[in-house]
Amino acid sequence: MVDAADALRDAQSRFEQRLTRDERVEPKDWMPDGYRRTLIRQISQHAHSEVIGMQPEGSWITRAPSLERKLILLAKVQDEGGHGLYLYGAAETLGASRDDMIDALHEGRAKYSSIFNYPALTWADIGAIGWLVDSAAIVNQIPLQRCSYGPYARAMVRICKEESFHQRQGYDIMLTLARGTAAQKAMAQDALNRWWWPTLMMFGPPDAESDHNSESFAWKIKRYGNDELRQKFIDQAVPQAEVLDLTIPDPELAWDEASGHYRIGPIDWDEFRRVVAGDGPCNRQRLAHHRRVREDGAWVREAVEAHADKTRARGLRARVGTGSR
């Protein structure tokens, strides 16, 4: 007879073999509690980021400079909401409930990306967000397509495709402004100045200070460290800024022949820690807005649930032959 300890050892060994063979872990497979917790933490934070990330851009929908720009921005902001939904769905496959995840966000137990605590002050910020923030999101998320957890990895495939359209729309806005009047070009430069450093912080703390790197590597959730991905982004963005004829706001930025990478000046990690701790320019506003919208939308969720209950009850009555008219 196989006792509980043997069964657990077998399950653990099957899980490890699956990771070694680079096979996906699926919702019904046994997984260690820590693996499940790490995924719920990361995926729910990712979902919150997508949804909170709708706010800075959403504030420009009514002020977009043309009908075409308005339509494109509307589509992008809707996509971000959709990404949040896929990701909440992926976290739910791990046993997390949507309400608990949202409560954790509202109570400060769950985070969302630091980047969305900065304001979008001008139309050029919409360009900078699309160009820089979406580029950073893509660089970070492409390896997540190979994350060991199936539902997260599959959600990433679709999300990355949509993010690449988002990146292009942002770069196109920057290109239009940078090739426009002197005032427009100055607006683009100002947006780059404000979004550059916060974008570099999106990748998370330096590897030496990352709490989760080692476990996440072992579990094949993360494939690369925060610093490596940050560097990849920098190496891509610098030539793109050159095409725009804009200046990266870093006097120490320099090409390093020996390493084949750009070197940058120091990142202000105190600012990162302040923003993550809740003291960025827009943290309070972002969370207050999210709470308000959730309360305003409560009647919609109640109506959807009531409708689902009615439909279920009707189906049940039909099956037992007491169908209502």
Q: Which is nearer to ligand FAQ, 185 or 196 (CB)?
A: 196
Q: What is the smallest separation between the CB atom of 207 and ligand FAQ, expressed in angstroms? A: 8
Nearest Cα neighbor of 142 from 124, 130, 158 is 158
Closer by beta carbon to ligand FAQ, 152 or else 185: 152
Tell me the DSSP string of 46-60: HHHHHHHTHHHHHTT
Minimum distance from residue 75 beta carbon to ligand FAQ (Å): 13
Q: Which is nearer to ligand FAQ, 11 or 150 (CB)?
A: 150
* Nearest distance, CB of residue 163 and ligand FAQ, angstroms: 7
Which C-beta is closer to ligand FAQ: that of 166 or that of 185?
166
Q: Which residues pair with 261 in a beta bridge?
A: 256
Token look-up 């919702």 returns: 27
Please check whether residue 132 is in contact with residue 140, taking contact to mean a CB–CB distance below 8 angstroms.
Answer: no
Please identify, using beta-carbon distances, which residue of 145 and 247 lies nearer to ligand FAQ: 145
Give me the count of residues in the chain. Answer: 325
| Long-range contacts at 175-182 (CB < 8 A, ≥ 24 apart) | 175/243, 175/244, 176/127, 177/123, 177/124, 177/127, 178/244, 178/245, 178/246
Shorter beta-carbon distance to ligand FAQ: residue 12 or 214: 214
Q: How far is the CB of 253 from ligand FAQ (least distance, A)?
A: 21
CB-nearer residue toward ligand FAQ: 185 or 230 = 230
Q: Which residue's CB comes closest to ligand FAQ?
A: 53
Of 189 and 216, the one with the shorter C-beta distance to ligand FAQ is: 216
The label of the residue with tokens 């430069």 reads 189
Q: Can you tell me the distance from the alpha carbon of 172 to that of 26, in angstroms, rounded to the nearest whole number?
A: 39
In whole angstroms, how close is the CB of 110 to ligand FAQ at the nearest point? Answer: 8
The alpha-helical segments, DSSP class H, found in 107-261 are 123-128, 134-141, 150-178, 182-201, 213-218, 226-244
Residues near ligand FAQ (CB under 6 A) = 41-42, 45-46, 49-50, 53, 57, 80, 111, 113-114, 129, 133-134, 137, 140, 201-205, 210-213, 216, 222, 226, 276
Q: What angle do CA 248, 250, 256 make, to 5 degrees?
A: 95
Question: For residues 98 and 44, what is the distance between their CA atoms, to the nearest angstrom?
Answer: 9
Strand partners, 254: 263
CB of 130 to ligand FAQ, least distance (A): 7
CB 47 to ligand FAQ: min, Å: 8
DSSP 74-108: HHHHHHHHHHHHHHHHHHHTTT--HHHHHHHHHTT
Considering the complex, what minimum distance in angstroms separates the CB of residue 226 from ligand FAQ? 5
